[in-house]
Homo-oligomer: A and B are copies of this chain.
Amino acid sequence: MRNLNEHNITDEVVRRFTTTSSDPRVQTIMASLVKHLHAFAREVNLTEEEWFQGIEFVTRVGQKCDDKRQEFILLSDTLGLSQLVVAQNHKRPPGVTEQTVFGPFHMPGAPHLAPGANIAAGVQGEPCFVSAWVQSATGQPVAGASVDVWQADAGGLYDVQHPEWHDMKLRAVFKTDQEGRFRLRTIKPCSYPVPTDGPVGEMMRALDQNPYRPAHLHFMIQAEGYDRLITHAFVEGDPYLDSDAVFGVRSSCIGDYVRHDPGVAPDGTRLEVPFYTLDYQFVLQPLPHHS
C-alpha cells in the first residue's frame, strides 16, 4: 500500500502483521499493541517533540537496567500494568487470598528454617511474631505447603540492597504443619519508597506521585493442587495503603499487626521492648483440574 496517511496507517500495519505465516499468538499481541499505541497517539494528538521525549525516556529506562536494577519492571509497576497482569491471571473468588505483584527482591535458595525461627537475627527493628494458617477455600488445612517469606529492613532496604551484607537476611522458607500452620519471628515491616534515582523517579516527580509503598511482608505459598499464591501481608493503618506507588494493595491482603507492651512474647521469651503479633490466614485457590 503506497497511500498511507494518518487515518489508514493503523489498518495497514495490522494487516501486514497478521497476514504472514508467523505465530498466531505473536500476531494477536502485536496487532493489539499497534492498535492501542496508535489510538493513544491519536487521542492526545501527540506532537513530534513529545514523541521524541518519549523515545529519550524509554531509552534511558533501558539503559538504567543492569543485573541488579530492572527499571522497566519499575515502570510497569508504577503504571499499574504489573498488578493488572497479575490480577487477570489469578482471578480469585471472594474469601480467597488475592495475588499481588512479585517484586524484584525474591531470591531463590533462602534457608529452610524450623517453626518459630527468627529470620531477623542480627537485624535492628521492632520484634514481630507471625502465626499464620494456610487453608483451602472450603476450610481444609493445607499441610506441607512451602512458605517463602521475605521483607525489607527497618530502613526500607532488602538484604541484596546492602552491599556490605554477604549472607541472606530477612528471608526464609517454612513448611506448614498438619494443621496448615506456620510461625516465625521477624521485625515489623516499614513503608519505604521505590527507587527514585532513575528515569521512573523523574516521571513520578513530574506527575507529583507518592513513591512510597505501604509496609508489608512478602509471601509465596506453594502446595500441590493449588494456584501458587504470591501475595503481601500489609500493615493495617499504614499511611500509604491508599496510595501504594505500585498499586499492589488488595482488600484481602491487610493484616492486624497488634502492638504489645514489653513482657512475655508468644515464644515464651521475655522482651524488654514493645513487640507486635500478626495472626493471619491465607486461603489458597484450587487449580481447575483439582477442584
Residues of A in contact (CB 8 Å), total 80
Residue of B whose beta carbon sits closest to that of A60: B62
Task: Known A80-B10, A247-B12; judge A20-B208 contact (CB<8 A).
Answer: yes
What DSSP secondary structure best describes chain A's contact surface?
Answer: helix
Contact between chains at B84 and A41 (CB < 8 Å): yes
Q: Nearest Cβ in chain B — how far from A30, in angstroms? A: 6
A143 at the interface (CB under 8 A from B): no
Which among B16, B73, B82, B209 is the interface contact of A16 at CB below 8 angstroms? B209
Contact between chains at B249 and A2 (CB < 8 Å): yes
Contact between chains at A208 and B72 (CB < 8 Å): no
Residue of B whose beta carbon sits closest to that of A251: B3
Task: Known A50-B29, A242-B2; judge A208-B9 contact (CB<8 A).
Answer: no
Contact between chains at B91 and A6 (CB < 8 Å): yes
A63 at the interface (CB under 8 A from B): yes
Q: Nearest Cβ in chain B — how far from A268, in angstroms? A: 35
Give the residues in chain B near A63, CB-CB below 8 Å. Answer: 62-63, 65
Contact between chains at B50 and A13 (CB < 8 Å): no
User: How far, in whole Å, are A70 and B21 apart by their CA atoms in the complex?
Assistant: 29
Give the residues in chain B near A86, CB-CB below 8 Å. Answer: 48
User: How far, in whole Å, are A82 and B51 apart by their CA atoms in the complex?
Assistant: 8
Segment among A32-40, A125-133, A157-165 that sits at the interface with chain B = A32-40
Give the residues in chain B near A83, CB-CB below 8 Å. Answer: 4, 9
Chain A contacts with B in 4-62, Cβ cutoff 8 A: 4-6, 9-10, 12-13, 16-17, 20-23, 26-30, 32-48, 50-51, 55, 58-62
Given pairs A1-B242, A27-B207, A48-B89, 20 additional interface contacts (CB within 8 A)? A2-B242, A2-B250, A3-B250, A4-B249, A5-B98, A6-B84, A10-B80, A12-B247, A16-B243, A17-B209, A20-B207, A30-B203, A32-B43, A36-B43, A37-B81, A38-B81, A45-B88, A47-B85, A48-B86, A51-B85
User: How far, in whole Å, are A36 and B6 apart by their CA atoms in the complex?
Assistant: 18
A273 at the interface (CB under 8 A from B): no
Q: Nearest Cβ in chain B — how far from A241, in angstroms? A: 5
Contact between chains at B41 and A9 (CB < 8 Å): no
Give the residues in chain B near A154, CB-CB below 8 Å. Answer: none
Residue of B whose beta carbon sits closest to that of A19: B208
Q: Nearest Cβ in chain B — how far from A140, in angstroms? A: 26
List 21 A-B residue pairs with CB atoms under 8 Å apart, sorted by A's residue number: A2-B234, A2-B254, A4-B247, A4-B249, A5-B98, A6-B91, A10-B84, A16-B209, A17-B207, A17-B209, A23-B206, A29-B50, A34-B80, A37-B81, A42-B88, A51-B76, A51-B82, A51-B85, A62-B63, A62-B65, A63-B63
